[in-house]
Amino acid sequence: MSDKSHDPNQMTGAAMIVRALIDHGVTDIFGYPGGAVLPIYDEIFQQSEVQHILVRHEQGAGHAAEGYARSTGRPGVALVTSGPGATNMVTPLTDALMDSIPLVCISGQVPTHLIGNDAFQECDTVGITRPCTKHNWLVRDVNDLAKVLHEAFYVATTGRPGPVLVDVPKDVQFATGTYHPPRKSDVHRSYAPRVKGDATQIRKAVALLAGAKRPVIYSGGGVINSGPEATRLLRELVEVTGFPITSTLMGLGAYPASGKSWLGMLGMHGTYEANMTMHDCDVMLCVGARFDDRITGRVDAFSPGSKKIHIDIDPSSINKNIRVDVPIIGDCGNILGDILQVFKAEAKKPDIKAWWQQIAQWRARNSLYYRKSNDVILPQHAIQSLFEATRGRDTYITTEVGQHQMWAAQFYGFEEPHRWMTSGGLGTMGYGLPAAVGVQVAHPDSLVIDIAGDASVQMTMQEMSTAVQYELPIKIFILNNQYMGMVRQWQQLLHGNRLSHSYSEAMPDFVKLAEAYGGVGIQVHKPGDLDGAIQEMISVKRPVLFDCRVASLENCFPMIPSGKAHNEMLLPEQANDEATAKAFAGGKALV
């Protein structure tokens, strides 16, 4: 101890890190030790305020922190060592950047005097993670550490949220310096995200909404990120205006799936009614979404006749893909509040009965139709059964990436925000299992289910071991079609049915695998056994691998094919039988 030990703010860099975590209200972090973070691990060992969850791979730490963040609205924290520890974080950081998830990653670095020497486990962490973080820092002086840590939390959680990384050389962790609690001056003066929307733009928006004949509200993950107030206001706006509402993959749950104005998800695998409503509308209100290419389809045919209002906290989202008429930059909760206020004071509910009648016709096409079977479990049916069995329970759903993810989005009805954790922007296979670990840490008594694919789940399967260690009763609900289904679907539709490397020849025995990890394995083949097996899964208070054997060649529809517009969707009845069969027969590609 130094001679200044009487000053409680004098401490080592490693101690500052733990102290900063506590000051920011962090109770759980996910990490993996190594040489360059040993001083921090030593501090963690000597306290009990911050619980550390030891993962099995740093990517797992990152996704767990993401799941934690998404399900709580608070930042997720990951701690990794230098070199390979840091490079293993690149995927989750990129994932969090794409989906605007607040993540704080602390990485160890070789001592400052060795930086640049190709020292053991050295890598240019800030260089590697610069394009996949909202901001990052290399701290060379222990007296800068407190400021940087506080700024890191601030940057991660304000404006458009995102991942940040603080790289701390080992000598800085050992060195003693002065800590201070968070204060305003810790943040760059150049960083000041705009919260309040421009009043004239808000008036213009209200005028458009009030005059709409064929309106639609298209909401995204930004509403959920903005917090519970934004969700409440969005619901109120739908109520007050009587407008139909659809949402992106990321926005599911902001408006309840059981709500009468709900059209279902939009985009490539969205419902017919959602996409047709988008295509034919005359006024579109986009709240906290970003006109991603999976949403718009062909941009020059995207909703050609509409006036578009776009609310986003990130000015770079405006006019990036689609030109809009009324951009409003700021926090969606804030702006929705202002819009509602002006609307209620000055406008009345437009009469859009004819529009709703049109929508009813589109709905009647029943675009999520699939043929049930008594012999084999259809994946859609499995998700519907899971939904029915968990309805009304305190449930959180994560997913991997592939067909099962789209089916989950289509068939699982989300009533509340923060209940749906999926890798939207990056599409990271292997996200769901570690994300479920993170969600379960945040909500120990809730039911946490990863709707998984047989291929994806093998990418981060090792985190089963984490779940067992910490007694996290996550349920891994594998829709096992023995294929990389989504890849196969594209190969069938777009590559002449040449199924190049999309079949998994050697599938592990998931039941034995679960048991090997110390969890519980359940396998089901028959539709008649499904409900009972799901009940069994729910009642087990341990981690479960649920091997749900489903029809292996089922494809995910509806689908907007390549280069097509929203009104040119491929519906299941058009695609499933003949067209797909044709593709199987080596017939011409559909698209």
Ligand X SMILES: Cc1ncc(C[n+]2csc(CCOP(=O)(O)OP(=O)(O)O)c2C)c(N)n1
What is the pattern of x (binds ligand X, CB under 6 A) and - over residues 445-474?
--------xxxx------------------
| Cis peptide, bond prior to residue 558, ω within 30 of zero | yes
* Position 240 contacts other proteins (CB under 8 A): no
| Exposure of 105 in the CB half-sphere (CA atoms within 13 A) | 45
Q: Which CB atom, from 52 or from 134, has the smaller least distance to other proteins?
A: 134
Return the number of the residue (306 or 481) whose C-beta is nearest ligand X. 481
Active site residue 58: yes
* Active-site position among 147, 170, 308, 475: 170
229 is catalytic: no
Q: Is 141 in the site for other proteins (CB under 8 A)?
A: no
Stretch that binds Mg ion, among 83-91, 337-345, 480-488, 523-531 (CB under 5 A): 480-488
Report the relative pairing of strands 262-265 and 283-287 from DSSP bridges: unpaired
Is 487 a binder of ligand X (CB under 6 A)? yes
Distance CA(349)–CA(341), nearest Å, equals 13
CB atoms within 10 A of CB 274: 27
Which is nearer to other proteins, 120 or 584 (by Cβ)? 584
374 binds other proteins (CB under 8 A): no
Count CB atoms within 10 A of the CB of residue 438: 35
Residue 486 bears catalytic tag: yes
User: Closest CB to ligand X among 227 and 427?
Assistant: 427
Judged by CB under 5 A, the stretch of 26-34, 483-491, 494-502, 544-552 that binds Mg ion is: 483-491
Which of 204, 320, 525, 542 forms a contact with other proteins (CB under 8 A)?
320
How far are the Cα atoms of 158, 204, 228, 330, 529 from residue 313, in angstroms, in the given order? 10, 18, 16, 4, 48
- Is residue 481 involved in binding ligand X (CB under 6 A)? yes
Cα distances (angstroms) measured from residue 515 to each of 434, 454, 469? 18, 17, 14
Q: Which of 16, 30, 43, 58 is catalytic?
A: 58
Minimum Å distance from CB 300 to other proteins?
7
Q: φ, ψ for residue 62 (rounded to 5)?
A: -65, -50
Assess 584 for contact with other proteins (CB under 8 A). no
Taking the least distance from each CB to other proteins, the nearer of 124 and 236 is 124
Q: Give the binding range for other proteins (CB under 8 A) out of 106-114, 123-131, 178-186, 217-225.
A: 123-131
Residues with Cβ < 8 Å from 221, sequence gap 6 or more?
99, 100, 248, 250, 251, 288, 289, 424
Q: How far apart are CA 102 and CA 155, in angstroms?
A: 9
Residue 195 or 376 having the CB closest to ligand X = 376
Q: Are 167 and 137 spatial neighbours (Cβ–Cβ below 8 Å)?
A: yes
Residue 104 or 268 having the CB closest to other proteins: 268
Tokens read off for 128: 């590697």
Q: Does 339 help bind other proteins (rule: CB under 8 A)? A: no
Closest contact distance (angstroms) between CB of 91 and ligand X is 7
Residue 393: count other Cβ atoms within 10 Å of its Cβ. 9
Options 437, 484, 533, 534; binder of ligand X; rule CB under 6 A: 484
Q: Which two tokens stand for residue 476?
A: 């891994």
Let me know if 170 is a catalytic residue.
Answer: yes
Coil, strand or helix at 275 = helix
Strand order, beta sheet including 103-109: 51-54, 28-31, 76-80, 103-109, 163-169, 135-138
CB 580 within 8 A of CB 556: no
Angle, helices 485-494 vs 403-411, to 10°: value is 100
What residue 191 binds from Mg ion, ligand X, other proteins, none (CB within 5 to 8 A, per partner kind)? other proteins
400 binds, among Mg ion, other proteins, ligand X, none (CB under 5 to 8 A by kind): ligand X
Query: Contacts with ligand X in 421-440 (CB under 6 A)?
Result: 427-429
Answer yes or no whether residue 454 interacts with Mg ion by CB under 5 A: yes
Which residues form the catalytic set?
58, 120-121, 170, 486
The residues binding Mg ion (CB under 5 A) are 453-454, 481, 483, 485
The residues binding ligand X (CB under 6 A) are 400-404, 427-429, 453-456, 479, 481, 483-487
